[in-house]
Structure 1
Amino acid sequence: MPFTLSTIPPHSDGEGSLCLGVERGVVAIISVVGVLLALLAVPDFLHDHLPTTAAWMLESLVFGVLQIAAPPLALAKRAAPAAVWLWVSVGANVALLLFEPFILKDPLPDGATPWLLSMTLIGFGCVAVAEKRPRRAAVISLGITAALTAVYAGRIPASHSVIDGVGFALLSCSLVAGMKVLRARADRADKVEHKAQLSFEAKNRHEALEKERTATDSLLHDSVLATLLSAAGGETPGRAHSMAASALQIISDTDDHPVMHAPTVKWQDAVAKRRHEWDMFRPHALIDLSAELDVVLPPASADALLAAALQALTNSVTHAGPVSRRTATATVLPDGGVEITVSDNGKGFNASAISEERLGVRVSILENVHQAGGAAHIRSVPGEGTTVTLRWQPPTRSPSPDDNAKPPRIALIPQHQMLRILSAVMIMAILTAISETALFSRAVGPLIAAGIGLILLPALLRGAKTGTMSGRTAWGIATGGILLCCTATIGLNPHKVDAGSIYWYTCGILAGAVIVWTTGHRAPPIVTVAFQLTQITLWAGPTGAIRLGFAAEIVLVIAGLMMRRAIQRVSAAADISAATQRTLTLHQAQLDAFHLERRARLHHTRTDAAPMLRHIIDQHGVLDQASRTECRVLEQALRDEIRGRHLLNPTMRDAISAHRRRGAHVQVLDDGGLDNYDPDTLNVLIDNAASQIEPLHSARIVLRTGSLDTDTAITIVASTPDETAAALGLDDDDDVDLWVTIPRPAQVTLAA
């Protein structure tokens, strides 16, 4: 699989943005640490070679520089593919292993540290990142380890050679396994984020479409349908004329982009914006919206509340009959919300039996307010009047674009696992110190150090397990670490030990220091490591820290901390990117809903209703009987678009229109049972239903979608009242002319 750091798009197979970011972070750390390790290896490079091979040393130096310079080039966007430069670094390391046996001293001086150890660490890192197949990466790394062991076989003591070989084999395999875990965790995090993003996108597209649909239904009902009903009644021509002008202006809006409102609006500004609409009702009602109310709310919520209140007043004026009291008032709620109450003492109605045809209640009030984040309640008692309560309350916290969508960020390197590894390093260090004393040095210092380490180990293990540690415990461990430093080298000859034989001391202290560091304490580990550095310098000389590999180990610890920080930064950047993507998704969802719902619906309404609205304006609201009949037919057709949208296509619209023009009452009710059908399947079903109703002569026709838990797609019922029975005062139940159910197709293609 080719390795790229910048060309693979996010969320592609195995190469998401977080995975790529982690790999880039590792390469950046290899670049920085490689330079530090190379600088630490310079004294050993000069010390390990024969004086007569200066010219050959220059060639080794060229290979070394090439190995160090290649990883940074892997980060360059316009350079060759990243894997090329990483393999160039590995190739330079292999070239050194092949070339160095001819110019190295044989044997190396006592206590000398092989300079190729540092360079080989760089090679291991490049292999782990460049080769994505762990087994192949492990084989390559073990091959480099074997070559390194062969280069120094006979040049350093056999015990040191064995320790170096085994240690580097374990280290190389650990790097490969670590990169595998990093990639797996990063890839899993990318997939979780991508899945959450898709879910968020689908959810918000659906919500945006539903909100836009409800808002458009309310807008068309309160403007166009209300105008047509008023004109059809013929009782208030002046009002019909002004309503037609306003409705025509609404449906003639050709703006291709939704109006982007500010996040919030003052209540008094929202009321003032619709003052002319309230003024129309002042002759019929006492209106006190308290324009000075100190309330701030989202524009959509303000618009929905005011539109619902206007519709409630319209319903009261139209249906309540003679009243002695009709009011519309607004009050501030204790939590900063607002409540509008529209009430009258008219004839009232049974609120639990609201007809599905009463769109003014169901769409313009209940659904519209609910979609805008508010609540609506209707209380009505026949003979006593009606009260409509509209309420908006601020959420308990500020909403954000990624609410309910952002998945928990998966930790790439869980701290408890890292601390377990460090604990294992400490245990290995203690066992190695004991083995070193028993098998080789016979010195007492390592045994004392191992004893002190065993005393400190329980506290360190508890800290590693819980991730916390008290300040007293941290300073107690620091004191024990200083005491360990004072005794660890007793009986050891600094000129006869090297990095491989003393690593138990340096690595053990550093592992303990990192454990304390990760529990949140900074000063104790810094003091302990500084004391250890001073002790090694006094014991082994000014270059002892470099020669014994302590400086290199500090560099590796710093690299680990850098890697941890880099992963945190990559994760934070991924979170910011995801949040930005979710914000853009919200905007795009609103834009798509605007075009798919409002623009399309306004265009359809403009095509059907604009001629009649212009006719109403031209006639100043005074229409003849034919025009009033056409207004009723047109109002019912537009009502169908609200309550039966998935039961309509051109064929069905023509069939319904023909029945209405002959005087039949046609109801089209969509209960959502056809929502998931693709357009082709839906058209077949609707054409079938249209063919069933076309030959009918019934007085009443009802088309209704079946519920999702049934096998029925559409139910058609046609009936005609028995006029003779009604005239004689007998049971006047309708005669059923047709009752047919159209089943769902056996094979259904669901819409995307």
Structure 2
Amino acid sequence: MNFRAGVEVGLQRAYAVLLVLFGASWAALAVQGLGGTGPVGGAPLSTAAAVAFVVTSAVLVVRGLTTRLGPADVAVMALVDAAVQVAFVLEEPAGLVVGYRTQPGVAALVPLLTLAPRRFGIPGAAGVVGLLVVTSIPADGVLAAFLNVWPLLVAGSIAAGMAPALRTAGARADAAARAERDARIAADVAGAEREASAEFARILHDDVSAALRGAATPTVPADERRAEARRAVEALDGSPGTAAETGEVDLRETLAGLTGHTPRRTTVPDAPVPVPAGVADAVLGATREALRNVDRHAGANEVALRLDDGPRPRVTISDDGAGFDPASTDGSAGIAGSIVGRMASVGGTATVGSAPGRGTTVTLTWEPDDPEPGPAPTGRVALLVAATGDVRRPLYAVTVGYLAIMAMVALLQPGQVPQARWFLLWYAVVCALTVLLIVRSRTGVGPVPALAAAAFAVGGAVLSVAVVPYEDLLTFASWPVGAVAPLLTVLVIVRPSPEALLAVLAEQAGIVLVLAIGPMAGTAVGDVVLFALPMLVAPALGTLMGALLGVTIRRLGRATIEANARRAAVDAGAAADRVRRTVRDRRIAALHEEVRPFLASVAAGTDDPVTRRATATALEMAIRDELHLPGVLDRELRAAVDAARATGCRVVLQTAAGVRFDPGLVAALLRPVLGGTPPGEIVLGLHDDDGATTASLVVVPGRELAPPDGARVTMRDVTPEYAWVEVVVSA
């Protein structure tokens, strides 16, 4: 689900709430009419129309909450509204006041402006408004007929402003989510490419280079030479790890197959040590490299391998050998890449402690990540902002039209409302408070100003019922009762829903109480409520619709954010996996034809002992070049380097640790130098220069050097003795 779909669901559910309120109001009329009493008693057409409206409302409520409403649903409600208005013209039941008659019109108008296609919705809405005017003229007169449509105009302005604003906000939120997803995928892809290159370098250093060194060393036993070659072939043929690898393995079993020359004392716990498969591979590779370093460099009598269980599984490799100064190995491929880098790639750590004459201790530690926390508790305004971009826009769309039309009604009713000036002043303050609440909604509205605004608005509405003549209460003279709806709608969206709902209940209870102890004293409470129902609907309608709309959008906004995050994680993981495989395949292709067949023959014992050493030495040099300049030497350029070395040219290729560069630019810089007669010496080094990667190429004796087209040259010096050029090759 996306944000735009969430907005559509929210609009439908808000419409369902409107139908529940109107349906409940008309259900009382229908029941009384069927019994021959009430406002439509003795008016069979109006009673039938009331029953049709209640049934249609019930059906559309169910459909609105369970499926998507379509043009047929909108058309049915418009026909029912027409039936209600025509029945009124034909029978003119005296009790069917305008407060009741406008409700089917609003029920027909809202879906026309929010759910129907625009080319049908606008003409249909105009038809609904025009029908109410025409059917009101015989009973109410021309002026009153036009005044009767203000509830429709209010509802229409809200619907016409709210729906586009929410849809636009939903579309913006979808665009933002897509942009965030694309950025996350791009970041994960870049990280995966770096990790794939680092992992490939570790394979070259730990497995391939070690196997080639063993093949080039006559004193290495045949069984060990074959085993090293076999491991290297498996590493070259293996698939890179993927984000989907979540199975666990016992770290004890993973470390059980380690071999080495130096006598080893191994200590493992009795219970299994479960870790993710990717972590086990990283620990195995780092441990194997540490043991290999002991065999090559330590001259130790014994090495101790210890595995400790617990929340942070730890492997310790300690020897009693010669030791070394760790500072002297900073950036070395064996320690920095194959041990420290390998553990860092799975969220672990590796420390190396040593000193000359005191042996060496390597400690590998992995700590499981904490379970990913659920979405942080987010305030209602923050969720609305996340779902709509700027919560103020839909709030303005919902309230401004209502406030403006209500102001027109108030100005046209001064003679029917005692103390009209004071109520107009009160309404001006209510409008100002509503706008102020909307302005503050972006950063949040506190409980004290919200309570004060609600108390002022509700107090004025209840007071109006006490001063308006009883016979005018069901006319537009009671406009202050409905005038509070925009303010309460804003509050129910930006504040906890119970606060605004309590304010509505307070207004409803206050109105009923004023009537019960005043003009309707001695009347049953039920009859008082039924009399006041047309007045009570307006504020309740706006508040409940706002509450449901806010709750729906917040809930769907949270669900959509979580779904987008999960989908982005899956997409990013899949993209990262593809990059890992692509990088690995690309990097290995140039070496596969020569290195793998040779190592396979060594592993099988079918290699030529006479040429083994020379071939292994040449291939090891190629591997070293690949480690120093990853991705630069394709098959053609590697052949040129080999040919230059065969003539006695000294070729030195080196890169500072951690620099990132464009392999194509480096290759373009090196290729012209290797064409034709090779020089006596070629030195190419890459280093960081104030955040930019610079390639320094020195050729002895001097000759003219041709930097790549478009490359930024920072230094060039050509003499008969040497040629020196520096070019920016940042990735």
- Residue number in structure 2 paired with 1:359: 333
Once the 2 structures are TM-superposed, how far is the Cα of residue 743 of structure 1 from its aligned partner? Answer: 3.0
CA displacement, residues 380-410 of structure 1 (integer Å, 9 cap, x when unaligned)? 66x556746545463784457999xxx9861
2:682 to 689, 695, 701: 701
CA displacement, residues 544-598 of structure 1 (integer Å, 9 cap, x when unaligned)? 3576242465344333322222212321331232132033124313431342134
2:250 matched to 1:250? no
1:249, 1:714 → 2: CA distance? 35
- Residue number in structure 2 paired with 1:642: 627
- Residue number in structure 2 paired with 1:280: 260
1:251-400 aligned at under 5 Å gives the runs 251-253=236-238, 258=242, 260-262=244-246, 269-277=250-258, 279-283=259-263, 287=265, 290-291=268-269, 298-320=276-298, 322-323=299-300, 336=312, 338=314, 340=316, 342=318, 345-346=321-322, 348=324, 351-352=327-328, 358-377=332-351, 384=357, 387=360, 389-392=362-365, 394=367, 397-399=370-372
2:705 matched to 1:740? yes
* CA shift in 2, pair 1:57/1:745, >3 Å: farther
1:550 to 516, 524, 536: 536
1:582, 1:401 → 2: CA distance? 16
Once the 2 structures are TM-superposed, how far is the Cα of residue 306 of structure 1 from its aligned partner? Answer: 4.1
2:515 matched to 1:528? no
2:485, 2:691 → 1: CA distance? 71
- Residue number in structure 1 paired with 2:724: none
1:566-581 aligned at under 5 Å gives the runs 566-581=552-567
Once the 2 structures are TM-superposed, how far is the Cα of residue 59 of structure 1 from its aligned partner? Answer: 9.4
- Residue number in structure 1 paired with 2:212: 228
- Residue number in structure 2 paired with 1:184: 168
What secondary structure does 1:692 align onto? helix
* CA shift in 2, pair 1:554/1:480, >3 Å: closer
1:27, 1:452 → 2: CA distance? 31
- Residue number in structure 1 paired with 2:603: 617
Q: Is the 8 A contact 1:211 1:371 kept in 2?
A: yes
- Residue number in structure 2 paired with 1:632: 617
- Residue number in structure 2 paired with 1:585: 571
1:41-120 aligned at under 5 Å gives the runs 41=26, 54=45, 84-85=71-72, 88=75, 92=79, 96=82, 100=85, 104=89, 109=94, 112-113=97-98, 115-120=100-105
2:106 to 121, 129, 133: 121
1:215, 1:637 → 2: CA distance? 18
1:737, 1:27 → 2: CA distance? 79
* CA shift in 2, pair 1:359/1:22, >3 Å: same
CA displacement, residues 186-207 of structure 1 (integer Å, 9 cap, x when unaligned)? 2222222111111111111222
* CA shift in 2, pair 1:180/1:259, >3 Å: closer
Whichever residue aligns with residue 187 of structure 1, its letter is: A
1:431, 1:52 → 2: CA distance? 35
1:257, 1:376 → 2: CA distance? 21
* CA shift in 2, pair 1:506/1:314, >3 Å: same
Once the 2 structures are TM-superposed, how far is the Cα of residue 178 of structure 1 from its aligned partner? Answer: 1.9
Q: TM-score, normalised by structure 1?
A: 0.71
2:410 matched to 1:410? no
2:348, 2:340 → 1: CA distance? 9
What secondary structure does 1:348 align onto? coil
* CA shift in 2, pair 1:18/1:87, >3 Å: same
- Residue number in structure 2 paired with 1:504: 480
2:19 matched to 1:37? no
Whichever residue aligns with residue 232 of structure 2, its letter is: A
1:696, 1:206 → 2: CA distance? 39
Whichever residue aligns with residue 367 of structure 2, its letter is: P
* CA shift in 2, pair 1:530/1:475, >3 Å: farther
CA displacement, residues 703-731 of structure 1 (integer Å, 9 cap, x when unaligned)? 45686989998654344xxxxxxxxxxxx
Once the 2 structures are TM-superposed, how far is the Cα of residue 339 of structure 1 from its aligned partner? Answer: 6.6
* CA shift in 2, pair 1:569/1:57, >3 Å: same
Worse-superposed segment, 365-374 or 658-667: 658-667
Q: TM-score, normalised by structure 2?
A: 0.73
CA displacement, residues 183-237 of structure 1 (integer Å, 9 cap, x when unaligned)? 2322222222111111111111222232233223223422222011111122213
1:483, 1:716 → 2: CA distance? 85
* CA shift in 2, pair 1:592/1:241, >3 Å: same
Whichever residue aligns with residue 615 of structure 1, its letter is: S
1:708, 1:76 → 2: CA distance? 63
Q: Is the 8 A contact 1:110 1:496 kept in 2?
A: no
- Residue number in structure 1 paired with 2:8: 23
Aligned residues: 687
2:273, 2:437 → 1: CA distance? 54
1:85, 1:430 → 2: CA distance? 32
Once the 2 structures are TM-superposed, how far is the Cα of residue 176 of structure 1 from its aligned partner? Answer: 1.9
1:501, 1:657 → 2: CA distance? 99
What secondary structure does 2:698 align onto? strand
- Residue number in structure 2 paired with 1:241: 226
1:217, 1:550 → 2: CA distance? 75
2:635 matched to 1:654? no
Once the 2 structures are TM-superposed, how far is the Cα of residue 73 of structure 1 from its aligned partner? Answer: 7.4
2:415 matched to 1:439? yes
Worse-superposed segment, 649-658 or 163-172: 163-172
CA displacement, residues 166-185 of structure 1 (integer Å, 9 cap, x when unaligned)? 45434422322222321232
Q: Is the 8 A contact 2:189 2:575 kept in 1?
A: yes
2:692, 2:240 → 1: CA distance? 41
Q: Is the 8 A contact 1:153 1:161 kept in 2?
A: yes
1:204, 1:129 → 2: CA distance? 41
- Residue number in structure 2 paired with 1:213: 197
What secondary structure does 1:636 align onto? helix
What secondary structure does 1:235 align onto? coil
1:114, 1:476 → 2: CA distance? 27
What secondary structure does 2:98 align onto? coil
Once the 2 structures are TM-superposed, how far is the Cα of residue 664 of structure 1 from its aligned partner? Answer: 4.6
Q: Which runs of 5+ in 1 are unaligned?
A: 1-9, 11-16, 720-735
- Residue number in structure 2 paired with 1:489: 465
2:398, 2:6 → 1: CA distance? 25
- Residue number in structure 1 paired with 2:545: 559
1:84, 1:513 → 2: CA distance? 28
2:201, 2:387 → 1: CA distance? 47
Cα RMSD (Å): 5.7
- Residue number in structure 1 paired with 2:673: 692
1:192, 1:495 → 2: CA distance? 55
